[in-house]
Amino acid sequence: MTPPSCVPDAAGDSNNIPDAYAICPGQTVAGQVSPDDVWDLYKISLVQNTAIDVTMTGTGGDADLGVYVPSATDVLVDEPVALSNSTGNEERIAGVVSSSGSWYIAVKSYEGSTGYVLSVITPFVSTSTLGARTKDAGEQPLYTAPQDAQTQKCEYYLFSTFKEKCR
């Protein structure tokens, strides 16, 4: 199966899943969240077994990053399948989507106002990679990629069980 074609939405205000902006693999977007505008939501169409790597950097305040499954309907009710909530504005989530559909990426103001840049990379994972898996997805990596010059590697797992493990 090939990844779907993508047309990003024009910028505007998105505060929950029903009005999430469409973004495309490889796209970088900028935004701002604050106590008065807590959420910015994005949706990205992905096919099953696609690796996704979402990073956010920002200035001011403290913002967090979450990923929601295609069946999610409300960020105030549904739990994210992956969450990066470290202190500050350097957040990252990486994993492999367990089903095809529109996955949701949320930037949430935790404290103060934060201007942010969000980047989404989606290297496609072929089904042949899945054949090496002998235990459930949380135990064996589906995709391993080098992360930097120090040869740190990250193993990507299905979001339904485990998000990312870097060493």
For 75-96, what is each residue's pLDDT tens digit? Answer: 999 999 999 988 888 999 988 8
Q: Which CATH class is domain 17-126?
A: mainly beta
Summarised one tens digit per residue, pLDDT across range 108-142 is 999 999 999 999 988 754 443 443 333 334 433 43
Going from N- to C-terminal start, the domains of the chain cover 17-126
Query: Hey, how many other C-beta atoms are within 10 angstroms of the C-beta on 26?
Result: 10
pLDDT at 138: 43
- The pLDDT, as a whole number, for residue 44 is 93
Task: Give φ, ψ of 130 to 5 degrees.
Answer: -70, -25
Single-letter code of the amino acid located at 77: V
Cβ–Cβ < 8 Å for 158, 140: no
pTM value is: 0.75
